[in-house]
Amino acid sequence: MNKLLIAILLAIIVLSCSDGDQLKNKSGQTVRQWWKEGTLYQIYPQSFKDTDGDGFGDFRGIIEQVNYLEQLGITAIWMNPFFESPMVDNGYDVADYRAINPRYGTMKDFEEMVRVLNDGGIKFILDVVVNHSSNQHEWFIEASRSRDHKYHKYYHWWYAENGEPPHRHSLFDPEGGWDYVEAVNAWYLHTFAEEQPDLNWENPELRREVYEIMKFWAEKGVGGFRMDAFQFASKDTTYPEFPEGHEKNFIQWYGMRPQLHDYLREMYTEVIEPYHVFAVAEGAGSTFQDAHDLVDADRKELQTAYHFEYVDMSRTPEGYELSDFKQVFTRWDSAFAEDGWLAIFLSNHDNARLVDRFGNTSPEFRTLSVQMLNTFLLSMRGTPYTYYGDELGMTNIDMPSIDEYVDVDALGKYKAALASGQNLDKFMEELNYSSRENARTPMQWDDSENAGFTSGTPWKRVNPNYKEINVAAQEADPQSVLNHFRRMTRLRNENLVLVYGTYDMILDDHEEIYAYTRILEDDRLLVLLNFSDDKAMADLPNEVEIGATLINNYESDPFKGNNKVVLEPYQAVIAELR
């Protein structure tokens, strides 16, 4: 028999053996989906790889690095917005949803990039920013000229003849969520910056425009959509005044109106189903019920969603407690054990770097702690999202002075701190730790000038630690964060148990160790993670019988006989269970 035939027969045997009940839903249909089995990698396009020397990353840079991406073992890329934009919020203010900002390349480059990625088995996920547009979008320009223009109704307005608008909180603008336009004698609503007017989803014509935009990109080979700020899309158009202090629970008051579900079902019928694409919502409301209603397959709305409780755990330099971490992940996992599917992430472009928030940046423990965190991310149930640079353990950058900040969110917060007379030294210390700028520095490719990111002047200062933390150095080191990441994606890609297996926490109250099993029929894995910078010991339950060790970021064997386990600082181990 030739080798190909043997491989096919083996694959059939493996598939038929593993296709047990856990891979079927209650009605006997398979639960297997590419977007559940995928490992997503997020690229912030202006910071990934510049090929034309203008200091901004571009599509050709991604084409150039396609081998790197393939070798990462990732199966989909979500890219932050690259559309025509005045860049007030780095592209989350779109001026033309069908045009590409020339700094990233041309439509031809885009099409080539998607083709090259798809050829490498990598799908492309587009960021759809339709809770708001830019105030430079033709729709808003016309809408602000005349109340009679059809585009006027694409936005939310409060007419001056009704008096001053009721207070509305804005996430980026300390002066609030309404701004006045003289030509129409009305205020428009903006949940984010004043340059990001909210689109009126209650208007069916606007919704139709959005579906046409999504179809346009689906026809270009896009495999899925990330719906930006989508939980805020539907609004109560009486714009009620909410009680004082409601801003602290912003999502509860402004997010997840019941009508949103109708719009999502409409979007599903119009775009998601006919184009066989998938969609993930940013935000999942504030309750499990909200989240379930978004992703329950029977409801035909979205495929996955990500909530903020994971990342909300560690927003200040004080950090987080492992007990909270375990509890949050376990709670969300069990809520979706039967129906629905979640995205799992610990970092993205809106947060400080993974290692600064959840790991340990000291030279002794940086590598180990990031390896441990990546082991966690890639061994949990749910689709894992890795933010570019976290496969290397890229860190926060030190930016103590406000003069260097360009992010609209940071500048808004600074303005508010000034106005309220806060202690600015303390404010800057916290901003330096938590600001989004930390996660947007150029990718560190090698130790040449500008970390090999650009031959020009980078749009954002490269983190000075690039000489030490970079792709080239880590490729050469089998024990690097990068090579550990690759081992983890390979393990996940090759073992359905890491995707569909049950998740059960053990050693629940252990203060240093997070341990759990993943089980799918006869495939049984044990994951042991030491979240501390000390040795940690535990007795495993008697019935546990350890088999082969599949992942270990130390040479030392943690299994000491008699079910005793001793983990070195930040040791991460995945072992088979007999």
Closest residue to ligand NOJ in the complex (CB)? 92
Smallest gap from Cβ 475 to ligand NOJ, in A, equals 30
Task: Detail the DSSP E strand segments found in 105-262.
Answer: 123-128, 157-159, 178-181, 186-189, 224-227
What the block records as the tokens of 157 is 């307005």
**Is there binding between residue 250 and ligand NOJ (CB under 6 A)?**
no
Residue for token digits 């579906």? Answer: 211
H, E, C per residue of 257-320: CHHHHHHHHHHHHHHHHHHCCEEEEECCCCCHHHHHHHHCHHHCCCCEEECCHHHHCCCCCCCC
- From the candidates 93, 127, 179, 282, give the one annotated as an active-site residue: 282
Q: How far apart are CA 334 and CA 516, in angstroms?
A: 13
Residue of 89, 293, 512, 568 that binds ligand NOJ (CB under 6 A): 89
Looking at the DSSP bridge assignments, the partners of residue 577 are 546
Q: Is 282 labeled as catalytic in the residue annotation? A: yes
Q: How far apart are CA 306 and CA 138, in angstroms?
A: 31
Residue for token digits 């799918």? Answer: 520
Closer by beta carbon to ligand NOJ, 187 or else 192: 192
Residues in CB range of 162: below 8 A, 6 or more apart:
none
Q: How far apart are CA 514 and CA 491, in angstroms?
A: 19
Closer by beta carbon to ligand NOJ, 34 or else 308: 308
Total of residues contacting ligand NOJ (CB under 6 A): 9
Inter-axis angle of helices 288-295 and 322-335, nearest 10 = 50
**Is there binding between residue 350 and ligand NOJ (CB under 6 A)?**
yes
> Per-residue x/- mask for ligand NOJ, residues 401 to 440, rule CB under 6 A?
----------------------------------------
Residues in CB range of 296: below 8 A, 6 or more apart:
339, 340
Smallest gap from Cβ 27 to ligand NOJ, in A, equals 36
Closer by beta carbon to ligand NOJ, 347 or else 470: 347
**Is there binding between residue 256 and ligand NOJ (CB under 6 A)?**
no
> Per-residue x/- mask for ligand NOJ, residues 108 to 147, rule CB under 6 A?
---------------------x------------------
Smallest gap from Cβ 293 to ligand NOJ, in A, equals 21
Residue of 44, 92, 230, 232 that binds ligand NOJ (CB under 6 A): 92
Smallest gap from Cβ 349 to ligand NOJ, in A, equals 6
Helix or strand holding residue 77 (H, E): strand 76-79
Looking at the DSSP bridge assignments, the partners of residue 198 are 132
H, E, C per residue of 190-230: CCCCCCCCEECCCCHHHHHHHHHHHHHHHCCCCCEEEECCH
Nearest to 325 by CA among 308, 313, 307: 313
Smallest gap from Cβ 109 to ligand NOJ, in A, equals 24
Residue for token digits 């830019």? Answer: 134
Kindly identify the residues of this chain, within the stretch 504-563, that bind ligand NOJ according to CB under 6 A.
none
Closer by beta carbon to ligand NOJ, 197 or else 569: 197
Residue 511: Cβ within 10 Å count: 11
DSSP class of residue 93 equals S
Query: Are the beta carbons of 227 and 128 closer than 8 angstroms?
Result: yes
Backbone Cα Rg of the chain? 24
Residue for token digits 């353990």? Answer: 393
> Per-residue x/- mask for ligand NOJ, residues 204 to 233, rule CB under 6 A?
------------------------xx----
Residues in CB range of 464: below 8 A, 6 or more apart:
397
Q: How far apart are CA 442 and CA 473, in angstroms?
A: 16
Residue 361: Cβ within 10 Å count: 16
Nearest to 225 by CA among 235, 234, 215, 233: 215
Residue of 44, 59, 158, 192 that binds ligand NOJ (CB under 6 A): 192
What the block records as the tokens of 184 is 């129409």
Query: Are the beta carbons of 139 and 95 closer than 8 angstroms?
Result: no
User: Chain centroid to CA 404: how far?
Assistant: 25
- From the candidates 173, 228, 437, 568, give the one annotated as an active-site residue: 228
Please give the angle made by the CA atoms of 222, 68 and 482, to the nearest 5 degrees: 120
Closer by beta carbon to ligand NOJ, 37 or else 350: 350
Instruction: Report the catalytic residues.
Output: 228, 282
Q: Which residues bind ligand NOJ (CB under 6 A)?
A: 89, 92, 129, 192, 228-229, 282, 349-350
